[in-house]
Amino acid sequence: QVQLVESGGGLVQPGGSLRLSCAASGRTFNRYAMGWFRRAPGKEREFVATITQSGGSTDYADSVKGRFTISRDNAKNTVYLQMNSLKAEDTAVYYCAATVTRTVVVGVNYWGQGTQVTVSS
C-alpha cells in the first residue's frame, strides 16, 4: 500500500508560480512511475504530467507543455510539479498518482487526496 499526500496548493495571481509536492509513504517509491492529474469545476479529471521510475522520461498534456515541470527525488520519496505562467484555466484540484507501469496515462494504482490550486486576480 502506498499513501500519497499532496501539498503546496493555494491562491495565485495569473502569471504567477506554484510548486506542488507529493510525499509517498513506504520504501518502494522508486518502483512507481508518478504523475499529476487535475479536475476543474464541472469538468472531468484530466492528465497533466507523468514521470518514469528513474525520472529519466517525462510527458505532459499539451495545455501545460512549456509551463509545468514534473520532477522527483527518490531519496525523499517525493514528486514535484513546478507550475509557471499560471492561467485562470489552470484552476483545479490537483491529484498526485502512482502507477506500477511506466506512465500514469496507462493506469493508476494509487491516488492522493488532492490539493486546490486557484488562479485569480
pLDDT per position as a tens digit, 36-48: 999 999 999 999 9
Model confidence at 98, pLDDT cuts 50, 70, 90, reads very high
Amino acid identity, position 87: K
Identify whether the C-beta of residue 79 lies closer than 8 Å to the C-beta of residue 98.
no
Give per-residue burial for 46-65: e unless 16+ CB within 10 Å, then b.
ebbbbbbbebeebbbbeebe
| CA pair distance 55, 76, nearest whole angstrom | 13
When mean pLDDT is compared across 4-13, 20-29, 32-41, the lowest value belongs to: 20-29
Nearest CA-CA partner of 118 in 8, 11, 7, 6: 11
Chain position carrying cell 504530467: 49
Model confidence at 27, pLDDT cuts 50, 70, 90, reads confident
Q: What is the pLDDT at residue 26? A: 80
Identify whether the C-beta of residue 79 lies closer than 8 Å to the C-beta of residue 51.
yes
Helix (H, G, I), strand (E, B) or coil at 22: strand
